[in-house]
Structure 1
Amino acid sequence: MTTDRIPASDLPDIQASAEADGLAQGLSPEEYARACEICGRAPNLLELGIFSVMWSEHCSYKSSKKWLRQFPTKAPWVIFGPGENAG
């Protein structure tokens, strides 16, 4: 038995559904488009969940980066400045 695979881009309803899944996972439309670009296709639900977590505020500091940059990173009294593994 053979199975023909149809690209999701040829199926607008499926593509719209996949994008809705991405938005439901907390991704912005731009982040969903970037996830598609990285995967070379519409990501599945598991992949969307992974992108959502990795690009979340908790992991990526996407909305607080500009504020964290104001803190000193090197000074005699700074033990470990803001950045990777700081917390």
Structure 2
Amino acid sequence: MIKAIIFDFDGTLADTLPVCYYAFQAIFKEFDNVELTSEEIKVCLVHLKRESLERILLIQIMTKQLSSIMKNTVKNITNLSLRMKRYNCCYIN
């Protein structure tokens, strides 16, 4: 019976970052014939992380704006429908 599970967040129990750098170096060398230093890989990873966060934030902002626009549109359509009904205009119910 399992009594405990240990999660290793990098640097807690083992420092696996050098292994990650080595893996990236091997992949770039094999597939692109490019040799990168650990520092170059680190810069790429930091850039990717920042870019991913910026995309997530942009999506969240756009979702909030779209939600607000949709709420206003529904409100405007509802108001227009009520006015049309009040003046006996043709409207779609």
The reply to whether TM is greater than 0.5 is no
Using the size of structure 1 for normalisation, the TM-score is 0.28
Higher relative contact order (CA 8 A, sep 6+): 1
> Which structure is higher in helix share?
2
Give the greater-gyration-radius structure (CA).
Answer: 2
